[in-house]
Amino acid sequence: MIVRDSGTQPVRIEQDVVLARHTVRRLAVECGLRLIDQTKIVTAASELARNTVVYGGGGDMDWEILEDGARHGLRLVFRDEGPGIADMKLAMTDGWTSGNGLGLGLTGAKRLVGDFDIDSRPGVGTRITIARWT
């Protein structure tokens, strides 16, 4: 796998959620994702960026445009040093939401992307990695 381009964008205030969404849309187009896949990763990124601000106290979104043979993809990592997720089982339950996000919850974001990984420890923070491929 080759990383063709990468960067980091702060996700610390509500306005950063909008900027993250615009960045992800631009990157998804750049790496050749179909419109439906662009929409899916932008929607997932919007939910995760908002969670980073609201629950994680702010953090960063790292991005990478990837090449793996004929496939191209976009990988995003949302990371914060917030309180972490105390009850991962509950957080990953279909239909559960705190009521403050888009209503997708983590499971909704997971369904929208090809790759999803979450690492969260109470008192340490949360790191969520997602990717969508052509």
Q: Give the tens place of pLDDT for each residue, 61-118.
A: 999 999 999 999 999 999 999 999 888 888 888 766 665 555 567 888 999 998 999 9
Phi, psi of 82 (to 5 degrees): -80, -160
Query: What's the DSSP call for residue 44?
Result: H
Predicted local confidence at residue 95, as pLDDT:
67
Entry pTM = 0.92
Beta bridge partners of 73: 66, 133
| CA-CA-CA-CA torsion sign (5, 44, 110, 28) | negative
C-alpha distances (whole Å) from 59 to each of 14, 37, 99 are 12, 25, 21
What length does the chain have?
134
Query: What's the DSSP call for residue 116?
Result: E
The count of structural domains within the chain is 1
CATH classification at residue 90: 3.30.565.10
Tokens for 91, please give them.
């957080």
Segments forming the whole domain that contains residue 118:
2-133
Q: Which residues contact 3 (CB under 8 A, 6 or more apart)?
A: 64, 65, 66
